[in-house]
């Protein structure tokens, strides 16, 4: 059952380009006014797919932004032998270009949040941030299941990084609001039998005792398991050290650019199309733009939550401007615009691009079909009017235009899955003929 959770936002129909600036997006209304106090923000993982456009968006809104990143995602590109489809500039070039086009300064610090604890603590004491936005985690479920190396790295990096952030905030003695980008995958992707609430669920304990507890975790990969452990870590530090934390359970992000990243080609966001890091809709749009059959895993009956990258940046601002008070429990938002079955999303792209769908064996250990009924009332109540897949076809065009512009950078053999959840899934995917698939 398909459920659209939000109102439609009509955006300009022109595709983003680098030769001309796009028409301004309509302003969203949040619970804070334009005269609200500007924040001092540290963005961990600020060089990444979500971190970079969020950094630019918050800087553009007048907040003081410091980026922290160890460039691990760029190093994984080298490991996998697959670059971003878009040619992304170095962090130094990016922040310099942003200063040129906006007049605003973003500081960049190269440090490893999971390993360089003393440097992280010193930076927090120096900058005295109002908010720390935590993107500094290995973000791909397929990569986390690719090998023992991927599993161990994902756990070591993600869990140690989150623990270090919490420890550093507690040790600093500062009242810092931590905003963490989590995932809808903490809930699992089975059919829950009802609407998934935002983080906490009402239960009746033995003896008829009523309670409201953290929603049970049901991870589907090592990556998702680390996000579940993050949630438990935040619960502890919130209880023990009264840290103020907001945890955002985000859906699948699609799109590439934002009104800030299109202002100069040196600001362009990364675009992952490979089987490990390419999110499903971006991968479909890339395949459609290349004229390659859309790879739908299994039956395509998996239901997922989706959100556009521009709305990710807005949600981070809303969360930042609405922190929990000292002593309040961890705040949790479901950060999605809508839910869709994967095969229905593929059909939308196929209709737009004229490229056929092709069902391929599913490399993941998951249910072939599932429902996903999710509440996202908190962001809607704070003024977010999200972009849905049907609300602006021009946003589809923007991605396809990016693909066509940089298609010579695409390595077609990287499109199909190369990570398998277990030996049975690997066996089921044996014999997948990449060349035959690419020939349509």
How far is it, in rounded angstroms, from Cα 42 to Cα 110?
13
Q: Return the half-sphere exposure (C-beta side, CA atoms, 13 A cut-off) of residue 265.
A: 9
What Å distances lie between residue 423 and 63, 154, 369, 386, 414, CA to CA?
48, 20, 21, 40, 21
What is the predicted pLDDT for the residue at 6? 38
Find the catalytic residue in 39, 227, 314, 382.
Answer: 227
How far is it, in rounded angstroms, from Cα 160 to Cα 165?
9
Q: pTM of the predicted model, to two decimals? A: 0.89
How far is it, in rounded angstroms, from Cα 277 to Cα 286?
13
3-state secondary structure of 305: strand
What is the predicted pLDDT for the residue at 197? 94
Active site residue 131: no
3-state secondary structure of 359: strand
3-state secondary structure of 378: helix
How far is it, in rounded angstroms, from Cα 373 to Cα 396?
25
Count other Cβ atoms within 10 Å, centred on residue 434: 12
Which residues, given as ranges, of the chain have pLDDT below 70?
A: 1-36, 190-192, 392-394, 432-440
Active site residue 183: yes
Find the catalytic residue in 143, 223, 273, 406.
Answer: 223
Find the catalytic residue in 154, 183, 279, 388.
Answer: 183
DSSP per-residue letters across 147-202: -HHHHHHHHHHHHHHHHHHHHHHHHHT---EEEEEEEGGGG-SS--SS-B-SSEEE
- Judge whether 160 and 114 are in contact, CB under 8 Å: yes
Q: Rounded to 5 degrees, what are φ and ψ at 34? A: -65, -20
* Range list of β-strands (E), 231-378: 244-250, 252-254, 294-297, 303-308, 331-335, 338-341, 357-360
Placement of tokens 């129909």 in the chain: 13
Active site residue 223: yes
How far is it, in rounded angstroms, from Cα 73 to Cα 153?
12
């Amino acid at each position: 059952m398909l459920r659209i959770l939000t109102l439609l936002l009509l955006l300009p129909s022109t595709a983003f380009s680098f030769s001309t600036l796009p028409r301004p997006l309509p302003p969203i209304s949040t619970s804070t006014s334009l005269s609200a106090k500007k924040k001092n923000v540290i963005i961990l993982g600020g060089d990444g797919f979500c971190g970079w456009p969020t950094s630019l968006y918050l800087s553009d809104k007048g907040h003081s932004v410091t980026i922290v990143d160890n460039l691990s995602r760029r190093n994984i590109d080298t490991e996998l032998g697959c670059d971003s489809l878009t040619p992304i500039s170095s962090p130094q070039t990016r922040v310099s270009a942003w200063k040129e086009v906006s007049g605003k300064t973003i500081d960049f610090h190269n440090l490893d949040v999971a390993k360089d604890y003393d440097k992280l603590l010193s930076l927090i004491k120096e900058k005295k941030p109002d908010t720390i936005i935590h993107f500094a985690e290995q973000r791909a479920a397929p990569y986390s299941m690719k090998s023992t190396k991927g599993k161990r790295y994902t756990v070591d990096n993600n869990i140690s990084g989150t623990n270090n952030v919490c420890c550093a905030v507690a040790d600093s003695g500062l009242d810092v609001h931590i905003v963490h980008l989590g995932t809808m995958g903490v809930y699992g992707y089975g059919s829950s039998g009802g609407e998934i609430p935002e983080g906490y669920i009402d239960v009746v304990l033995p003896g008829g005792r009523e309670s409201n507890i953290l929603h049970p975790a049901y991870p589907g990969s090592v990556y998702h398991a680390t996000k579940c452990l993050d949630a438990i870590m935040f619960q502890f530090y919130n209880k023990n050290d009264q840290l103020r934390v907001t945890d955002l359970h985000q859906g699948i992000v699609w799109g590439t650019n934002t009104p800030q990243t299109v202002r100069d080609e040196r600001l362009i966001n990364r675009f992952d199309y490979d089987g490990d890091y390419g999110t499903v809709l971006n991968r479909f749009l890339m395949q459609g733009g290349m004229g390659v059959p859309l790879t739908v895993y299994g039956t395509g009956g998996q239901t997922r939550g989706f959100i556009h990258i521009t709305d990710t940046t807005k949600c981070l601002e809303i969360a930042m401007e609405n922190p929990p008070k000292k002593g309040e429990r961890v705040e949790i938002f479901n950060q999605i615009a809508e839910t869709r079955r994967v095969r229905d999303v593929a059909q939308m792209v196929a209709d737009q691009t004229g490229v056929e769908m092709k069902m391929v064996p599913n490399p993941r250990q998951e249910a072939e079909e599932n429902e996903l009924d999710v509440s996202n009332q908190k962001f809607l109540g704070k003024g977010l009017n999200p972009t849905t897949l049907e609300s602006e076809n021009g946003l589809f065009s923007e991605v396809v235009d990016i693909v066509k512009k940089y298609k010579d950078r695409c390595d077609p053999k990287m499109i199909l899955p190369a990570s398998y959840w277990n030996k049975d899934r690997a066996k089921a995917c044996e014999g997948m003929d990449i060349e035959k698939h690419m020939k349509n």
